[in-house]
Amino acid sequence: MLDALRRAAVSDPLDGDEHDDFSQARLARETGLAPATVSNIVRDLTRAGVLETVPGGGRRGSVVRLSDTAGYVAGLDFGHSHVGVAVGDLAGRLLAEDRRALAPEPDHARALATARLMLDELLAGLPIAPLRRVAMGLPAPIQGSAVGSASIFPGWEGVDTGTAAEDALGAPVTVENDANLGAVAEHRLGVARLRESSFFVKISHGVGGGMIIHDRLFRGATGSAGEIGHLTLDEQGPLCRCGSRGCLEAYASIETVQQMMSGQLPEAQFGEIVDAAHAGSVAARRAIEDAGLHLGWALASIVNLLNPGVVVIGGTMALAGDLVLESARIGLRRHALDSVALTPVVVSELGNRASLLGALLVAADEVDLAEETSGTDPDD
Ligand SMILES: [Zn+2]
């Protein structure tokens, strides 16, 4: 019951102020709970400092909102050479964020220490309130709260990531695949809003995917669903870092495009390759289009299988815009069934921030307000 109340109270984080205040009648309607039950829960949450009465809002404190001191949640997004940290309120609304470079393939303890430092700095700029929950994204298949493949994310292998993060950060931590977090953000805040099913592909150092089915993230039996990057396109193809051959990632990752261009544009960042393509470099255009074509072939299997309402391309590849979209659509149409061949393929609006914003939303979703009403002091 508490969970239903919280979901109603913290939903629609981008819908503006009119959703900040909740009448108890509306809470009863949205949760399906009896008015007397809502009244009891609201009283407990108000005592616990999570909700506060809106001055002048209806009779006898019948309109409530999240209290300013209800606490914070944090989102962390670890990449192969960066970490992003964001702090939000219990509705998952962004309050502050920071992003820093890490040494390539960082050791997990050092990466977590950097994140802790950034988190402390962000919290120091906000009114004092407890940090209730952290969600962190890692660019690797996740099993439980550990990295499920050592070769995919070195520096984090063999570690109970959730426990290590809880020790470093001093708050409960949820560990999730970064593309899954991106899928959540695009579904709730980005271009996949209003679609009940969508597929998000994150293309950066590697290639990952996350799927929303019937408005929920589909994680599979052990949390590893959506790994489109390791779909086999050619069993005789190039070796992939997962150990297999001919995976999509071996054709479409940012690293692959940069390697293809290493003769013409040595050491170039992906953005520079995109600029070169726009400036007329046939090689740069071809390298990006080839990645898009292979992506489209893999997406054909995804849309045949899942029939998502939209496919969103995120991560660094989103910088390529139409250059990658056109070839991905051509590749998809070549191998998809007629019924799904025109599935929209678009680039992310949230760009490199999708996973970080998704982490904030997941952290807010997982705050257990039941704990707050069981007699514990919220400031503990
Ligand atoms: Zn692979």
Distance 49 CA to ligand 1 centre (A): 48
Dist CA 351 CA 354 (whole Å): 6
CA of 241 to the centre of ligand 1 (A): 6
Q: What is the pLDDT of residue 5?
A: 58
Encoded tokens for 208: 């990952």
pLDDT tens, residue by residue, 139-173: 988 887 788 776 678 788 888 899 999 999 999 99
- Kindly give the distance from the C-alpha atom of residue 246 to the centroid of ligand 1, in angstroms, as a whole number: 7
Mean pLDDT of the chain: 89
The CA 330 to ligand 1 mean position distance, Å, reads 23
| Residue 1: predicted pLDDT | 43
pLDDT band per the 50, 70, 90 thresholds, residue 373: low
- How far is the centre of ligand 1, averaged over its atoms, from the C-alpha of 50 (Å)? 45
Q: CA-CA distances (angstroms) from residue 343 to 300, 305, 330?
A: 10, 12, 12
**Closest-CA residue to 207 (of 169, 161, 240, 171):** 240
Q: CB-based burial of residue 380 (10 Å sphere; 0-12 exposed, 13-18 middle, 19+ buried)?
A: exposed
Contact of 302 with 335, CB cutoff 8 Å: no
Sign of CA dihedral 22, 23, 24, 26: negative
**Ligand 1: centre distance to CA 229 (Å):** 6
At residue 262, does pLDDT exceed 90?
A: yes
DSSP tag of 280: T
DSSP state of 61: G
Task: Enumerate domains of the chain plus CATH numbers.
Answer: 2-66 (1.10.10.10), 72-181+356-372 (3.30.420.40), 191-349 (3.30.420.40)
In the structure, ligand 1 is a single-atom ion and the residues with CB under 5 Å from it are 230, 240, 242, 244, 247
Residue 7 has pLDDT above 90, yes or no: no
pLDDT of residue 4: 55
Is a pLDDT exceeding 60 seen at residue 216? yes
Residue 340 has pLDDT above 60, yes or no: yes
Residues 91-127 have pLDDT tens digits of: 899 999 999 999 887 789 999 999 999 999 999 999 9
Tell me how far the alpha carbon of residue 63 lies from the centroid of ligand 1, in angstroms.
53
Specify the pTM: 0.88
Residues 270-302 pLDDT 10s:
999 999 999 999 999 999 999 999 999 999 999
- How open is the CA angle 371-377-379, to the nearest 5 degrees? 105
